[in-house]
Structure 1
Amino acid sequence: MAGLSRPLETELTFPVRTYDIDFAGIVSNIVYVRWLEDLRVRMLERFYPIEPLLARGEGPLLARTEIEYLRPVRFGSTVRGIMWAAGHGRAVFDLQADFEVAGETVARARQRGVFVHYGRMQVMPLPKELRSQMESAPASSRQQGG
């Protein structure tokens, strides 16, 4: 993962498996959602372990996922996924991800989430420790308010 430079940047590789393929012989759109989940979980493991939050009944909740599919991916390919913090507000965070095959971007994704108290399902401010790690996001990409 040398050379990673964006806030919370995380990278994983995903070999395309037979169960990732749809009837047309390409990676099913839903597989990208699973890969986004894998990237987000890895990001939290690396930068902000979630166990202490869960012990308090708090944690992240996704509000939106958008994926732009640029090129089909076929069985036998290895997909490189890169995710990073694209911005944040007081209570929201934005993540961005690119998926590449052989250096070519095949899909782009964006996710928005919040942290909540699970028992009350009440939105809470981003944890201070996580917010400080996201502070290196370019000012133009930071979300205001929220």
Structure 2
Amino acid sequence: MYDVPVRWSDMDAYGHVNNARFLTLYEEARVAMFFVGARAHGLGSFEEGIVIARHEIDYLRPVDFGDPVRVEMWISALKTASFTVDYELYDDGVLASKARSVCVPYNLAEGHPRRLSAEEKDFLTPYWIRS
């Protein structure tokens, strides 16, 4: 769970969070998990490169400017060279959006995808909810 502030710049002309900015809110929560959270567990390899292969998002209700939104995340798929993050975004305790991102570990220096390391799998496993 991660609280993400809603900024004035996230708003559209109708006074709601712009649809594209939802991805930014999800990204902030994901970065906190894979960079800050992983680093706190002694794992820095995610910082060397993760790319997004796919995003899916469902908008369930508008989100207005105000208090931070809460993003809950879990891993819904864990494969050899990718993992899927599922999210739910809550505004004032009400579910406002659901999303999914397929993440691929990536070697930025050499310009190609890579496999998940054993340490990365160990970090992700407690968040994995098998369906």
Fold-level match, TM-score > 0.5?
Answer: yes
Percent of aligned positions that are identical: 30
Residue aligning to 2:32: 42
> Which aligned pairs between 1:1-146 and structure 2 lie closer than 5 A?
11-44=1-34, 45-48=36-39, 51-52=44-45, 58-136=48-126, 137-140=128-131
Whether the aligned pair in 1 keeps the contact of 2:74 and 2:129 (CA below 8 Å) is: no
Paired residue secondary structure (2:97): strand
The one-letter amino acid paired with 1:24 is: Y
Paired residue secondary structure (1:135): helix
Whether the aligned pair in 2 keeps the contact of 1:87 and 1:93 (CA below 8 Å) is: yes
Distance 1:91 1:108 in 2: 24
Q: Post-superposition, which runs of at least 4 consecutive aligned residues in structure 1 deviate over 4 A?
A: 48-54
| Aligned residues between the structures | 127
> 1:118-141: per-residue Cα shift (whole Å, max 9, x none)?
13322211121111233342443x
Distance 1:34 1:93 in 2: 19
Whether the aligned pair in 2 keeps the contact of 1:16 and 1:76 (CA below 8 Å) is: yes
Q: Which runs of 5 or more residues in structure 2 are unaligned?
A: none
Distance 1:109 1:88 in 2: 17
> 1:44-100: per-residue Cα shift (whole Å, max 9, x none)?
11125664565xxx4211111111000001122431111222221110110011100
> 1 or 2, which has the higher helix percentage?
2
Q: Which shifted more, 87-96 or 72-81?
A: 72-81
Distance 1:35 1:53 in 2: 19
Q: Which runs of 5 or more residues in structure 1 are unaligned?
A: 1-10, 141-146
RMSD value over aligned CA atoms?
2.0
Distance 1:138 1:85 in 2: 6
The one-letter amino acid paired with 1:46 is: G
Quote the offset at 1:16 in angstroms. 2.7
